[in-house]
A = this chain, B = another copy of it.
Amino acid sequence: MAHEAAIAELRALLGERLVTTRADLDLHGQNETYYPFTPPDAVAYPETTEEVSGIVKICNAHRCPIVPYGAASSLEGQHLAVQGGISLDMNRMNKVLAVNGEDLNVVVQPGITRIALNEELRATGLFFSVDPGANASVGGMAATRASGTTAVRYGTMRDNVLALEAVMADGTVIRCGSGARKSSTGYDLAHLLIGSEGTLGIITELTLRLHGIPEAVAAATCRFPTVEDAVNCVILTIQSGLPMARIELLDEMMVRAFKSYAKADLPEVPHLFLEFHGSEAGVAEQMEVFGELARDFGAEGWKTATSTEERNALWAMRHKSHYASAAFGKGGHTWPTDVCVPISRLAEAVHQAQRDAQELGLTSTIVGHVGDGNFHVALSVNPDNADEMERAEKFTSALAETGLRLGGTVSGEHGIGLGKQKFMAAEHGPALHFMRAIKTAFDPNNILNPGKILPPMN
């Protein structure tokens, strides 16, 4: 067995919470997308920060890789132990430690999922806004700098993590940030760790911003003649400063996938799914302003959903896009990818993506957080079909190039993980050297999620 000595010491520390049974290893080797099955050598289930620190110290002494694991909903293989070692399953560290309603924040352990957190907050009149679709763990969301449908109004994890505690590669426990809403006291380590995908430190506690549940919420859908019309409507909406809470694009293929997967009753043309938050009068005003804008772009079939049930049904369907896309094609799997561009270039980016997929003979759906200039393409693939996988790879590279050519980034929210390392040099140029310098300074033995984010040196 690899890493035998480390595992023996971890067993002495954790007892039955260090697991090497086949079923558990297999579970931790799976992923939602097209990455190969990659079981770790052992799974550790810490219950406290001190235990995480102890585990990391053992791993560091033995040069044993350690890979944080939350809800395993990451889309670029971030949670896979590609160099073996320990899968650090954070699901037992899933408690709400303090609800500070007066300060609009909550202190949590990283293993709690966003839905569980919002259930715990239900009585407070407050909510945690970040909604990537999947019921991800908040620790994983911070580690991948997640965002999702509501980021256009309430920000991404970058904006919603006030403070965090992390265990560093030598076992040191650090705290970054505070309960204050802002600070200017030195280097922003919290934001360095957010988005570092477990390669610089292991997040063991988070202070998250909360928002007041708005007095009024209304969701709506409408359809457009073409994707260009829908996207141009979004561009003008954002430019006009309308405080959209959600503004999601579904292309015609995505609508078709929903129709077959969720029996959605929608015409097969591009749609926008919308949500408005505010006072009763404010929401009414926003809907009126948006409605006028949308009509100029040929919007029709305006449907509103004001009851909680109707709204939940709408967003539940939206959140199934990943599975709807997987079921839509023949391969049964999906290769999801995302890109984010300045909003003025969004129509061009979407159009290029549709054309590239068509030219490569790929079945693809597009769904997007278009208010941020961010959209997803889900390619339907069969991982056993080498030719199709090669075309999918080509598509992903072309999309990344499109993102960079239009002044954007190769990922708005999925992160780098395994799949996008090859674009790091093109996006970051000489800055990549300084990322490597931080990794070397923080984790000289390269035990923290090795093989992620930073491409191998040539």
Contact = CB atoms under 8 A, between A and B. Distances in A.
Contacts of A420: 185
A145 interface: yes
B179 A407 contact: yes
A173 interface: yes
Nearest to A407: B179
A174 B434 contact: yes
B441 A438 contact: yes
A389 interface: no
A144 B189 CA distance: 15
Interface string A418-429: 001001100111
B240 A212 contact: yes
A430 B235 contact: no
A146 B372 contact: no
A188 B158 contact: yes
A195 to B, nearest CB: 6
Contacts of A214: 241
A435 interface: yes
Contact of A185 (B159, B241, B410): B410
Contacts of A235: 102
Contact of A282 (B195, B282, B439, B440): B282
Contact of A186 (B180, B181, B279, B428): B428
Contacts of A140: none
Interface stretch (A29-37, A320-328, A341-349): A341-349
A178 interface: yes
A249 B145 CA distance: 35
Contacts of A196: 187
Contacts of A189: 431, 434-435
Nearest to A192: B192
A180 B412 contact: yes
A238 B285 CA distance: 23
Nearest to A215: B241
Given A100-B344, A344-B102, A407-B179, A188 B184 contact: no
Contacts of A409: 178, 180, 182-183, 185
Contact of A188 (B172, B174, B192): B192
A92 interface: no
A194 interface: yes
Nearest to A403: B180
Contact of A182 (B101, B147, B191): B147
A424 to B, nearest CB: 6
A103 to B, nearest CB: 4
A379 interface: no
Interface in A363-415: 372-374, 403, 407-415
B102 A411 contact: no
Contacts of A434: 168, 174, 189, 441-442
**Residue from A103, A176, A341 whose CB has the most chain B CB atoms within 10 Å:** A103
A175 interface: yes
A196 B189 CA distance: 11
Given A192-B191, A212-B240, A182 B372 contact: yes
A416 interface: yes
Interface in A183-232: 183-189, 191-192, 194-196, 200, 211-212, 214
Interface string A319-339: 000000000000000000000
Given A104-B239, A188-B194, A239-B212, A374 B175 contact: no
A88 interface: no
> Which 10 pairs, one residue from A and one from B, show the smallest C-beta to C-beta distance?
A212-B241, A102-B344, A183-B409, A179-B342, A180-B408, A174-B431, A191-B191, A145-B184, A103-B342, A180-B340
Interface of A: 100-105, 144-147, 151, 156, 158-159, 168, 172-176, 178-189, 191-192, 194-196, 200, 211-212, 214, 235, 238-241, 279, 281-282, 285, 340-344, 372-374, 403, 407-416, 420, 423-424, 427-435, 437-442, 453-454
